[in-house]
Chains A and B, each alone.
Chain A
């Protein structure tokens, strides 16, 4: 199709670069710099979608972020991108877009039957219809709504594009590069402020691109180009186009999405597709401009009805005519500017002005150009289904209540102008309570809440002279406050046409006997009758009316609908708009890609990965890794075709029989130093610490103030005032914060310092009956005999020239040692242990074998210390001192914690000695009891006991200490299993603890 609606000598698109794209699989041509909307209109295409509720035909209504209709789905490199506004998306070679919300096609849409059934779709339709019966939801209502609704379909594929986050600080952030944004940026930048100027469109200049004005003897376009060029050359200024500041958050933090690659066929190398900027600004100037208001009349949603400012921009920026027989329907002078532009381009418009006898420069100019104008005239209804074909127009009485002289006239578009609504969204998000301005019938920001000021038409200043003067002043004033510089630039003189007052009339009454739909919210299909119904049904608060009717709740956030909705509510309620108030604006101002919000934190980057110094060795030796918090730990070392179960059994058995080595680098380590360190530990742990000799370790349990076990681990006295504390891998960070809290806030008089040393040390646990023999060979110069290095002893020793530390501690319950060396020597240590250990049949073991070993020994870990257990529950009450006070002690005497049948840890063995008990199973007395079956407790950890070669579990059950020997049942509704079990001691292997001491 040729571009029948393209003008030859006007517009800013690049005529030298023709671009082809497809819309609904049909090929079209446009030019570089076109949006999908401008290119389609140039080709005479106005039908692009179907409305949300009634599936009425949808065309283009605006030219930018305010577009409520033309939401398309983009197909790009086999990726889908829904919720694309055709008025914002620039075309590129090979672009593929499709209509959404229509099936089977945009020209024949089955859902349009809703339009003829519209008595069934009143306000609150969804609440009223889909409530009962509840069973219908899943199978009938939801699939129906999902098929009929929605703005496109998200891709189910992984998004291969890159999105970035950026943090920036500046003196002054300016949102919008219209006249006020440019002027204030220039004034502030010249005064030495660090400025960021953000423009959401590709072109800078805002309204200057389309208005017929003169600034400092230059046209608006020339002036804006000059200012932008100079700003770009300044080192204290960042200028960004295609960048929308969409959220104003606390303490002057604003978030902006920069679309870097969206307008290109392929994202450029080394650049992300989009970048999200978190900007902390000392001051903000909101220069986001204003959006034209629609006028409300019958069938005002027909394709071809659009904002008059949009029609003008399509001509001036894109060189595109929205129609060749335009009707301009206006209540103010703005419509005349559009009419004049049509006339200049050889098209004869007809102006319908609701005002009686207005007079101004611009009206005179229109008259002089010979444009036909009808005063006190309105559009009653648009005619035509998929495109405007004609309009019923009428004379309106002075009181604006009665219509007369109704006639039908031919036209192919209706450009409406109901005056202007300042975009106060950002100011409102910052907490600025707006106020209603009678002069412009709209809300403008009131008192600054955060460090923000609103300028230009966003602040209700609708003449260029006011705007420019205010912006230069504000730019200087704000920058002076920050930089204390006094470089004031002179303000250029402005020449513009004077306009006269607008008419407050906005909604055309229905002629007798007609029931045209008059829409307020074009995206959510909310009509005048819906608001009337909601008010009849008793909804009063504007927030309730909004939710009940969905007015202003769509992705356009009611940019074109809010004020007319408020006007209607005020009219019906006989109130004035400020009494009704407006609904809250919330970020984001425009839809933001989920990818941009997530940024680089996807896949492996969603959290940091920590690896031990021995990681490469594990990898080379077929370790299968498991996430342990942010650490990667070997779960088991696979030999041949072994399963996890087989490998972990082999590894655990070898520890019990020979010797094994396990990477324990991930354990949290904290250095505790200072003259009061012993006293501090004595307050932190439940057991006694004052008499621990140098060179000895002790196992300790620490509580929260509510008596719940927080963590456990061993702490070793390295020297008089130096302790080496270990924590569990998971709790390392919390324990450090906990210690710092008490040292800094509760007991600042204690002379103690704590610091994390987790990453300083690489650790290897050597466990098994052969471990001492191995140790003797690793440390030939150190006496590691049972007498010289007793259980819970500590020694510094030389490991083939490397300084090492030996702790005789055991988690596996076997004779065991932990060897630490500085992290950089970790791999050396590990390889030496493996090499020297060969003759003792050493094997590395992973976390699965480690769990098996500790479970059958009855040693508690995270699955028992789960934030619900006190020391008694984990059989740690022997470690609770009765003599001294410590953190959380007072809580332990609370009634629930000392009741006789308090939960306690026990062992569980299946009667058949073969069925493994799923973790999380309930322990019950009678599996056939009426539901809900009273449970005694739950299974916290399960393993295959390598000592007895049968399944063994730990459980925490009510009155545990008196349940030993009882025959009960383990029930897992999840696995649908009921297993008869016997309750035994949790210390299943070596209950006296002989092995660790031999």
Chain B
């Protein structure tokens, strides 16, 4: 079970969190024309990298904040965690 450093609460076990997928995906702006292809990419297509991955976790049984976690998908090493509005490196 992972041990995730919530930037708001401190280190907490994985069972307090819900996984939220790729944190680098940016929702297209509202009211902007967008092609079917680009929209499909946003809704459905995700990279599944082996190695470093910036991803979202939701501290549902804690502070209820969405946080960003930089994790290695093959070793589970967590390099850094960020608040939702923090600029990632």
How far is it, in angstroms, between the C-alpha of A42 and the C-alpha of B82 when the chains are bound? 64
Q: Which of A736-757 contact B (CB under 8 A)?
A: 737, 740-741, 744-746, 748
- Of the candidates A705, A884, A894, which one forms a contact with B36 in the assembled complex, judged by CB atoms under 8 Å apart? A894
Chain B residues in 8 Å Cβ range of A737:
18, 58, 60
Contact between B1 and A253 (Cβ–Cβ < 8 Å)? Answer: yes
B-facing mask of A302-317, CB < 8 A → 1, else 0? Answer: 0000000000000000
Of the listed stretches A88-96, A244-252, A320-328, A857-865, chain B binds: A244-252
Of the candidates B30, B60, B76, B78, the one having the most CB atoms from chain A within 10 angstroms of its own CB is B30
Q: Which residues of A contact B65 (CB under 8 A)?
A: 740, 744
Q: Which residue of chain B has its CB nearest to the CB of A251?
A: B3
Q: B1 to A745, Cβ gap below 8 A?
A: no
Cβ < 8 Å to A, chain B residues 1-43: 1-3, 13, 18, 20, 27-28, 30-31, 34, 36, 39, 42-43
Interface check A502, CB cutoff 8 A: no
Interface centre among B18, B31, B39, B65 (most CB of A within 10 A): B39
Within 8 A of B (CB), among A763-811: none
> Quick check: is B56 within 8 A (CB to CB) of the other chain?
yes
* Contact between chains at B30 and A745 (CB < 8 Å): no
Number of contacting residues on A, CB 8 A?
25
Which residue of chain A lies nearest to B28 when distances are taken between CB atoms in the complex?
A890
Choice from B1, B18, B28 contacting A249 with Cβ under 8 Å: B1
For residue A658, CB closer than 8 A to chain B, the reply is no
A387 to B76, CA, bound (A): 51
Pairwise interchain contact A250-B76, C-beta atoms closer than 8 A = yes
Is the beta-carbon distance between A745 and B84 smaller than 8 angstroms?
Answer: yes
**A267 in the interface (beta carbon within 8 A):** no
B39 near A890: Cβ-Cβ < 8 Å? yes
Known: A252-B3, A253-B3. A885 touches B30 (CB 8 A): yes
Contacting pair A744 B66 (CB below 8 A): yes
A873 CB, min distance to chain B CBs, angstroms:
18
Residues of A within 8 A of B60 (CB): 733, 737
Q: B48 interface residue, CB < 8 Å from A?
A: no
Q: How far is the CB of B54 from chain A (nearest CB, A)?
A: 12
| In the assembled complex, A98 has its CB within 8 A of some CB on chain B | no
Complex Cα spacing A873 to B33, Å: 25
For A251, the chain B residues whose CB sits under 8 A away are: 1-3, 76, 78
Give the CA-CA distance A733 to B60 in the complex, in Å.
9
On chain A, the residues within 8 Å of B13 by CB distance are: 167, 253, 280
How many residues of chain B are within 8 Å of chain A by beta carbon? 27
Closest to B20 in A: A741
Distance in angstroms between the alpha carbons of A745 and B21 in the assembled complex: 13
In the complex, are the beta carbons of A890 and B3 less than 8 A apart?
A: no
Question: What residues on A are CB-neighbors of B44 within 8 Å?
Answer: 706
Q: Which parts of B44-86 form the interface with A (CB within 8 Å)?
A: 44, 56, 58, 60, 64-66, 75-76, 78, 84-85
A408 at the interface (CB under 8 A from B): no
| Cα distance, A741 to B60, chains bound together (Å) | 11
> Given known contacts A250-B1, A737-B18, A740-B66, is B58 in contact with A705 (CB within 8 Å)?
no
A863 vs B10: C-alpha distance in the bound complex, in angstroms?
A: 41
- Which residues from A are CB-within-8-Å of B43? 705-706, 891
Measured CB to CB, the closest approach of chain B to A659, in angstroms, equals 40
Contact, CB under 8 Å: B75 / A431: yes
Give B56's nearest chain A residue, CB to CB: A745
For residue A745, which residues in chain B have a CB less than 8 angstroms away from its CB?
Answer: 56, 66, 84
Beyond A741-B20, A745-B56, whether A890 also contacts B66 by CB under 8 A is no
User: A330: shortest Cβ distance to chain B, in Å?
Assistant: 42
The interface residues of chain A lying within 8 Å CB-to-CB of B42 are: 705
Per the bound structure, the CA–CA distance linking A740 and B58 in Å amounts to: 9
How far apart sit A311 and B30, CA to CA, in the bound complex (Å)?
77
Q: How far is the CB of A448 from chain B (nearest CB, A)?
A: 13
**A683 located at the interface, meaning its Cβ lies under 8 Å from any Cβ of chain B in the complex:** yes
**Chain B residues within 8 Å of A705, by CB:** 27, 42-43
Q: Which residues from chain B contact A167 at a C-beta distance below 8 Å?
A: 13
Chain A nearest CB from B28 CB (Å) reads 8
Bound-state Cα–Cα, A705 to B42, Å: 9
A250-B84 contact, Cβ under 8 Å, with A706-B43, A740-B64: no
Contacts of A890 in B (CB 8 A): 28, 34, 39
B64 nearest CB neighbor, chain A only: A740
Tell me the complex Cα distance, A706–B20, Å.
Answer: 16
Q: Mark out the residues of chain A between 217 and 255 whose CB falls within 8 Å of any chain B CB in the assembled complex.
A: 249-253
Select the residue from A252, A741, A890 with max chain B CB neighbours within 10 A. A890
CA distance in complex: A740, B2 (Å): 23
Task: Quote the shortest CB–CB distance from A166 to chain B (angstroms).
Answer: 13
In the complex, the chain B residue whose C-beta lies closest to that of A756 is B64
Specify which chain B residues have a CB less than 8 angstroms from the CB of A746 in the assembled complex. 27
Q: How far is the CB of B67 from chain A (nearest CB, A)?
A: 9
Known: A737-B58, A885-B30. A748 touches B85 (CB 8 A): yes
CB distance from B89 to the nearest CB of A (A): 18
Task: State the CA gap A890–B56 with chains docked (Å).
Answer: 24
Q: Which residues of B contact A250 (CB under 8 A)?
A: 1-3, 76
CB distance from B39 to the nearest CB of A (A): 5
Whose C-beta in chain A lies nearest to the C-beta of B3?
Answer: A251
Closest to B30 in A: A885
Instruction: Give the docked Cα–Cα distance between A633 and B75 (Å).
Output: 45
Q: Which residues of A contact B18 (CB under 8 A)?
A: 737
In whole Å, how far is A690's beta carbon from the nearest beta carbon of chain B?
14
Please tell me which one of the listed residues A278, A431, A891 contacts residue B39 in the complex, with CB atoms under 8 A apart. Answer: A891
Give a binary string over A494-531; 1 marks a CB under 8 Å from any B CB, 0 the rest. 00000000000000000000000000000000000000
For the complex formed, measure the closest distance between the CB of A77 and the CB atoms of chain B, giving whole angstroms.
Answer: 34
Q: In the complex, A745→B68 CA distance in Å?
A: 10
Q: Are B1 and A744 neighbours in the complex by a CB distance under 8 Å?
A: no
Is the beta-carbon distance between B84 and A748 smaller than 8 angstroms? yes
Nearest residue, chain B, Cβ from A889: B30
A884: chain B residues at CB < 8 Å are: 31
B75 surroundings in chain A (CB, below 8 A): 431
Residues of A within 8 A of B31 (CB): 884-885
CA distance A776 to B23 in the complex (A): 54
Chain B residues contacting A885 (CB-CB under 8 Å) are 30-31
Q: From the candidates B2, B3, B30, B66, name the one contacting A741 in the complex (CB within 8 A).
A: B66
A888: nearest chain-B partner, CB-CB = B43
Interface residue ranges of A852-900 to B (CB < 8 Å): 884-885, 890-891, 894
Known: A167-B13, A737-B58, A890-B28. 11 other contacts (CB 8 A): A250-B3, A251-B1, A278-B1, A280-B13, A706-B44, A737-B18, A737-B60, A741-B58, A748-B84, A884-B31, A894-B39
Q: Could you list 15 A-B pairs, sorted by A, with CB under 8 Å?
A: A249-B1, A250-B1, A251-B76, A251-B78, A705-B27, A705-B42, A706-B43, A733-B60, A737-B60, A740-B65, A741-B58, A745-B66, A748-B85, A890-B39, A891-B43
Residues of A within 8 A of B (CB): 167, 249-253, 278, 280, 431, 683, 705-706, 733, 737, 740-741, 744-746, 748, 884-885, 890-891, 894
State the 3 A-B residue pairs at the shortest beta-carbon distance, nearest first.
A251-B3, A885-B30, A744-B84
